[in-house]
Structure 1
């Protein structure tokens, strides 16, 4: 087995040293080569994964996306390859991928078995729990407290599906609102239109940390489930999948992913120098040690 790994590593090193010939390219790599540009789907407010800091798109996921872009440049022998960013939402990111409007999306997209029907996913780069954020003054501590109350989540997310299933299964009679994006959902909770915003734990921690009054809010609730984020690209494209996974696996096993994690989750981040204060979990530490592309649902 060790010999096989060494051979694969050698092949990987050779691939990095010798750019692919244009006539050998297929799928996304051929499209990027011919267009002279890679089109990234980015988010406006998925703090600290992919968000606009007032000048440019930054974040943990965006850093991973740019590492992938660097590998594409090397593979294609195109050091001046341009990057075009297209803002996507939870609702339109998959259709935009399928319609060739974006080539790659690394934001806060959950890899689910259902989504595998229409898109492909990379090695996971983050594992998390689905919880909620509420005002401390609301008295909300767990999901049964939401019975009969207005609750918000983001449209087109796996969290919306989990929340609606909970509502039906437990007959909570919640009034579920589906916001266009995470910022709109958080604002709905903050402004009192909903008592809680149900979303991925790191996302709500990001909103709590960056609010002018973070102590007014609490992240709470028994997890509705555990999920993973991954980069998303078109199905049936093995060369592109191999490239993306090679980048992510190397980052995780080399220690670079943990460095990136510390940068975006445990240190001050732009534009206001806020610290999300979300230490590396044992689940993510295990993921980094054993890169894989499995959905958890």
Structure 2
């Protein structure tokens, strides 16, 4: 009997600890925590040129989103505040955010209704959309020009369905990754490669003789993600983002990373039509 009571008591203690832990997790105020620590941990990409890429020279992640995260951190917490960076992938960024391993995600994350069921988003900071990458001497000017031609895309992406929607008479060849799709473009297997304009811009910076055309034919803006219920954190990010846009810091960062890319529209990326 005593043994059963001890087991029951142990179970009760463990249950209490679990419930208290869950309660603390649910009532966590990320904004107040980052204010106290004077640092923010951002989830970023480390494999995407222009947005976030691990530098072989410095051993650090560099890119537009890293620079923006640093600027947001200073604006939110002060000039002595520290920005920490954790590499994320498509599969890990939401779990890391939900588990409290990171405070916010700034990683080329499209705002979608499905994602908004799990997390909250800031206002858009990059107005992404699918575009076309073609050879410099191409006669293709927009997605409709793909009718009767061949587009190159990556399997499982929305680009495949979108090409068929906007250019129903186009043929679409699908590849496992962007490297394979671009190799096919160079080999002449298709007349255009399609995916998000920012990703295509990264490819264009490494490969002379290619340009983006037609602007964006879909609307898929990127937002900064915070966990559900973190209204103070989201509002603080929005205030800081708007301040950086007003004082010119945001525009300077966009130009730093995206200016000079053939066919890339900086004003469109900033949300101006």
- Superposed pair shares fold, TM > 0.5: yes
1:97–1:147 Cα change, 3 Å: farther
User: In 2, distance between residues paired with 1:167 and 1:193?
Assistant: 18
Report which stretch shifted further, 40-49 or 94-103: 94-103
Aligned positions of 1:131-170 closer than 5 A? 131-135=131-135, 142-143=142-143, 145=146, 149=150, 151-153=152-154, 160-161=157-158, 163-167=160-164
Q: Secondary structure at the match of 2:266?
A: coil
1:198 alignment partner, SS class: strand
* Equivalent residue, structure 2, for 1:205: 201
Superposition deviation, residue 33 in structure 1: 7.6
Map of 2:211 onto structure 1:
218
Deviation at 1:168, TM superposition (A): 6.0
Aligned to 1:265: 258
- The aligned runs of 1:48-63 (5 Å cut-off) are 48-54=50-56, 55=58, 56-63=60-67
Which of residues 231, 234, 249 in structure 2 aligns to 1:238?
231
1:45/1:52 contact within 8 Å kept: yes
| Residues 173 and 31 of structure 1: CA distance in aligned 2, closer, same or farther (over 3 Å) | farther
1:207 is displaced (CA, Å) by: 1.5
Note the residue ranges of structure 1 that are not aligned, 5 or more in a row: 1-24, 267-274, 288-297
Is 1:111 equivalent to 2:96 in the alignment? Answer: no
Q: In the alignment, is the contact (CA less than 8 A) between 2:127 and 2:268 conserved in 1?
A: no
Pair 1:165–1:58, CA change in 2 (3 A): same
Uncovered stretches (5+) of structure 2, i.e. residues with no partner: 1-26
Q: How many residues are treated as equivalent by the alignment?
A: 243
* Aligned equivalents of 1:279, 1:173: Cα separation in 2: 25
Query: With structure 1 as the length reference, what TM-score do the two structures score?
Result: 0.64
Q: 2 CA distance for matches of 1:82 and 1:129?
A: 28
* Residues 250 and 141 of structure 1, relative CA distance in 2, 3 Å threshold: closer
Kindly state the Cα deviation for residue 27 of structure 1 after the two structures are TM-superposed.
Answer: 3.2
In structure 2, the residue matched to 1:229 is: 222
Is the 8 Å Cα contact of residues 43 and 87 (structure 1) preserved in structure 2?
yes
2:249 equivalent to 1:253: no
Mark the structure with the bigger radius of gyration. Answer: 2
Aligned: 1:276 with 2:261: yes
> 1:48: Cα distance to partner?
2.0
Distance 1:140 1:193 in 2: 15
Deviation (angstroms), 1:153: 3.4
Q: Note the aligned Cα RMSD (angstroms).
A: 3.9
Contact 1:131 1:224 in 2 (8 A): yes
Q: Report the CA distance shift for 1:38/1:47 in structure 2 as closer, same or farther (over 3 A).
A: same
- 39, 46, 49: which one pairs with 1:47? 49
- TM-score normalised to the size of structure 2? 0.68
1:120-131 alignment, distance < 5 Å: 120-131=120-131
User: Matched residues in 2 for 1:98 and 1:86: separation?
Assistant: 15
Q: Is the 8 A contact 2:44 2:65 kept in 1?
A: no
